[in-house]
Amino acid sequence: MSALSSRRPTQRIPAFFIFRIARSRRLSNITSFKLLSLLGIFVFLAMPCTAQSLRKVIVDQDARGPATTDQQSILMFLQAPNVETLGITIVSGDMWRDEEVAHTLRMLELTGHTDIPVVPGAIYPLINRMEVIERWETLYGKVHYQGAWNGHKPGMNLGEGLRGKYHQPDVVPDLAEGNPTIKPSTEDAAHFIIRMVHKYPHQVTIYAGGPLTNIAQAISIDPQVSELAQELVVMGGALAAIYPAGPPTELRREFNFWWDPESVHMTLTAPWHKITITTVDISIKTRMTKAYLAELAKIQTPAAQYVAKYGDEEFMWDELAVAGWLDPGVITKESRYFMDIDISHTANYGNVLLWDKTDRPGLGEQLVNLPEDLDREAFYQMFLNLMARPSPAHSPSAPH
Amino acid sequence: MKKILAVLALASALIFPAFVQAQQTQAAPGTRKVIIDQDAAGPGGSDMQAILSLVQSPETDVLGITVVSGDAWLAEEVQHTLRLMEIIGRTDIPVVPGAAFPLVNTKEHMARWETMHGKIVYQGAWNFAAGHAVHGPWEIPPMPEGAPTTKAAGEDAAHFLIRMVHKYPHEVTIYEGGPMTNLALAQAIDPEFASLAKELIVMGSSLNPQTDDPEFTLTPSREFNLWMDPEASSRVLHSAWVRVVVTTVDISIKTQMTKDLIAEIAKGQYPAAQYTAKYAQPGYLWDELAAVAWLDPAIITKTHKVYMDVSTDHGASYGDTLVWTDATRPHLGEREVEIQDDLDAQKFYREFAELMTRPTPKTHDAK
């Protein structure tokens, strides 16, 4: 074995560092970031929350429930005073779509946000199928967590945070938190996304906390979607995560991306103005602990009570992606690389591919912002503060 | 009597530290049989220093050095290896030419692959040559250390490997510091090959190296030795070895051939030390760690076991390391291997410097 690291021509080295935003460990920078974000919050609170001043977002989620990272991340948007959630588009992932729609509707009822449209999206990934993965596993080894597919055959690892037993996609078991009485939107997620970015060009953030099937469908129907959106914020992918006590075998595999790799490829090769991706690497630096749930239980708001009652110990995967968008000051270190996903039907199917400027293939892969580290205290405090806000946080907006 | 022995031991400890080291690991001189399979770029550098580590140890009986294309092409590597054996006075060790090309992978295929999946920084003989231009497989650029007058063995590496494990069943350690083409050929010709060896020591694979160097972080599962000939790697990692020990990128990059270490070796009076110091460059001690940790396993402070394979799919992951736990593995004959996680770096540097600076052991009897 030899390598260029010791012999690499010196002119090659700086290219990488250009792409690293080394703002993390420099005290002055951290301070200025915090000041900026504090200033932002101050300015924001001083402004009246008119429709014009609200940041518009579509929340695309594989909305398992009750609670868990999926519902909790949705709640953060709903509870934020400066955010207008245009709608919640649902995609199969952690659970099947219809069960997720029911959990989301019920969460809106319990937390006083019934004015927000819930829009059903894709039931199945574009290409990937449970039966294909079954065959794939005989060649390449078991996949630890498979979301809605978990437990479809005996002996499968149920994975962290799985709720309930395997069932068919059209089955919606009775919900532990009670069944909803309100109904979902009759529009489908892809068309809702397309309609919203045309209605509010360059003003809508698309947040995706699950598989990217709905986003890919929207882009496929209308390639203008990515350019008409303001930015894309994603929880997905894994780079080189060090699990506290984890398997070494899933280095670049992360559930959201793995469930529908082709949709990730379509989304990440579209021309967005800005892409920010919260990966496993940083998500596992956060944790919803029992002590934290106990803190939430003391807060007498519907949102806090809902999370305290149904929340579990879990990494705060999707909440962190929301926090970085609400207040960039939470993120203390970030890098930028070109990213895609492997869609070849090989051992690497669904795994993240990463390049810098010097070695990328140039096949449409986009530069993405990758938060690497966070201010944990600021993050935990932000979540508590949001859950402590009365709901609804703003008057119901006009029907979309 | 005990007192006299103690005094003698103390005296020898002062005079021959390397000898005492050998005593500590309790191997009689010249008894540990090993075949060095190496992509032997030279002069000097990681490949040659790994060969030297094993030849310089008084414990080893180096049955032969089998050469394979990798960091450089086979033909030039054979010449550099022959010349090194002349310089240190060990022309009795056979230098056995092996595979000039990987089984399936080619430079031309990889060039097309790169247009799909991105550039690969280091490709050994295919895109890198130290001190001269990248060249074809049969060209031998001028040798700074002088050209050898001795000749390579007439046998090929695969047959030599097979002959040796049959001659000394369960006694021969196969040390692998390069692509696994020779071992895969031996296994293909003789399915008993792996099971007749004592063990396999590998520098190869990458699991999740912790570094800021993008060469390793952007593609954390890619490592040159296993990547250059993925089909050979997969074949070897599915063979019935009694034991496999793997030195990964992850641990190798915790080592450094520093200027101080080179200066320390330069103080050595013997030809091995002078050769090493003259051609050494600062860099990671990839293959040397695998070699020296085999000589003294106490260098390694932490290990764990995984099941390992190499991706032979012609996708973005071609040549990447695959690893599983027992709970997740596919059960297609993949082997359990011992991964070195951490080391006592100071102990390693000390023992490496001792090996480089000690007098080269004489020829052992009974080849």
Condensed to tens digits (0 to 9), the pLDDT of residues B305-349 reads 999 999 999 999 999 999 999 989 999 999 999 999 999 999 999
CA A342 – CA A353 distance, rounded (Å):
6
Give B-chain residues touching A3 at CB under 8 angstroms.
121-122, 215-216, 224, 283-284, 286
CA A184 – CA A131 distance, rounded (Å):
30
* CA of residue B238 relative to chain centroid, distance: 20
Contact B315 A2 (CB under 8 A): no
CA B74 – CA B173 distance, rounded (Å):
22
Q: Please, which residues bridge with residue A370 across strands?
A: A335
Query: In whole angstroms, how far apart are CA A282 and each of A242, A324, B152?
Result: 10, 11, 54
CB A225 within 8 A of CB A219: yes
Q: How confident is the prediction along chain A (400 residues), in pLDDT tens digits per residue?
A: 555 444 333 333 333 333 333 333 333 333 344 444 444 444 444 344 455 589 999 999 999 999 999 999 999 999 999 999 999 999 999 999 999 999 999 999 999 999 999 999 999 999 999 999 999 999 999 998 899 998 888 777 555 445 678 899 999 999 999 999 999 999 999 999 999 999 999 999 999 999 999 999 999 999 999 999 999 999 999 998 876 655 555 789 999 999 999 999 999 999 999 999 999 999 999 999 999 999 999 999 999 999 999 999 999 999 999 999 999 999 999 999 999 999 999 999 999 999 999 999 999 999 999 999 999 999 999 999 999 999 764 444 445 5
Q: Exposure string (b/e) for A86-98, b if CB count within 10 Å is 16 or more?
A: bbbbbbbbbbbbb
Per-residue pLDDT at B47 exceeds 50: yes
Q: Please, which residues bridge with residue A314 across strands?
A: A288
Contact B330 A140 (CB under 8 A): yes
A38-82 confidence digits (pLDDT tens): 444 444 443 444 555 899 999 999 999 999 999 999 999 999 999
Query: In whole angstroms, how far apart are CA B17 and each of A259, B24, B291, B350?
Result: 59, 11, 19, 11
**Within 10 A of A9 (CB to CB), how many other CB atoms are there?**
7
B130 CB near a chain A CB, below 8 Å?
yes
**Within 10 A of A242 (CB to CB), how many other CB atoms are there?**
12
Contact B124 A358 (CB under 8 A): no
Residue with tokens 């990758």: A370
Contact A2 B45 (CB under 8 A): yes
Nearest to A234 by CA among A218, A262, A254: A254
Nearest to A87 by CA among A195, A15, A177, A174: A195
Alpha helices in chain B (DSSP H): 2-15, 17-24, 45-56, 74-88, 107-117, 157-167, 181-189, 193-196, 214-217, 224-228, 230-236, 249-252, 259-266, 271-279, 286-295, 345-357
B188-229 confidence digits (pLDDT tens): 999 999 999 999 999 999 999 999 998 899 999 999 999 999
Handedness of CA A99, A105, A111, A113 (dihedral sign): positive
CB B305 within 8 A of CB B337: yes
Long-range contacts of B20-28 (CB under 8 A, 24+ apart): B21/B296, B21/B351, B21/B354, B22/B57, B22/B58, B22/B59, B25/B59, B25/B295, B25/B296, B25/B298, B27/B59, B28/B59
B327 CB near a chain A CB, below 8 Å?
yes
CA A151 – CA A3 distance, rounded (Å):
44
Alpha helices in chain A (DSSP H): 13-18, 27-46, 68-79, 97-111, 130-140, 189-199, 213-221, 225-228, 255-259, 261-268, 280-283, 290-297, 302-310, 317-326, 376-387
B324 three-state secondary structure: strand
CB B57 within 8 A of CB B361: yes
Question: What is B183-226 written as a DSSP string?
Answer: HHHHHHH-TTHHHHSSEEEEE---S---SS-HHHHSSTT--HHH
Q: Please, which residues bridge with residue A61 across strands?
A: A90
CB A252 within 8 A of CB A227: no
Tokens of A7: 């012999």
CB B102 within 8 A of CB B232: yes
CA A233 – CA B65 distance, rounded (Å):
55
**Within 10 A of B314 (CB to CB), how many other CB atoms are there?**
16
Tokens of A113: 């946000």
Give B-chain residues touching A144 at CB under 8 angstroms.
328
Interface of B with A in 178-237 (CB under 8 A): 178, 203-204, 207-208, 210, 213-221, 223-225
Please give the pLDDT value at position B15. 46
Phi, psi of A385 (to 5 degrees): -60, -40
Burial of A373 (0-12, 13-18, 19+ CB in 10 A): middle
CB A355 within 8 A of CB A261: no
Handedness of CA B237, B238, B239, B241 (dihedral sign): positive
CB A250 within 8 A of CB A211: no
Nearest to B362 by CA among B26, B66, B56: B56
- The closest CB to that of A342, out of B204, B216, B315, belongs to B315
Contact B208 A242 (CB under 8 A): yes
CA A184 – CA A30 distance, rounded (Å):
43
CA B144 – CA B191 distance, rounded (Å):
41
Contact A142 B116 (CB under 8 A): no
Per-residue pLDDT at B5 exceeds 80: no
Element (H, E) at B37: strand B32-38
Give B-chain residues touching A252 at CB under 8 angstroms.
220-221
How many interface pairs between A and B have CB atoms less than 8 angstroms apart? Answer: 147
Contact B252 A2 (CB under 8 A): no
Contact B281 A7 (CB under 8 A): yes
Nearest to A19 by CA among A340, A374, A369: A369
Query: In whole angstroms, how far apart are CA A258 and each of A144, A289, B308?
Result: 11, 27, 22
Contact A1 B287 (CB under 8 A): yes
DSSP state of A314: B
Residue type, A366: Q
A207 three-state secondary structure: strand
CA B231 – CA B180 distance, rounded (Å):
9
Give the residue from B203, B313, B326 with the most A CB atoms within 10 Å of its CB, the best one to mutate. B313
Interface of B with A in 227-246 (CB under 8 A): none
Kindly identify which residue of chain A lies nearest to residue B307, measuring between CA atoms.
A249
Mean pLDDT of B278-287: 97
CA A334 – CA A315 distance, rounded (Å):
20
What's the pTM value of the predicted model, to 2 decimals? 0.86
- The closest CB to that of B317, out of A142, A337, A348, belongs to A348
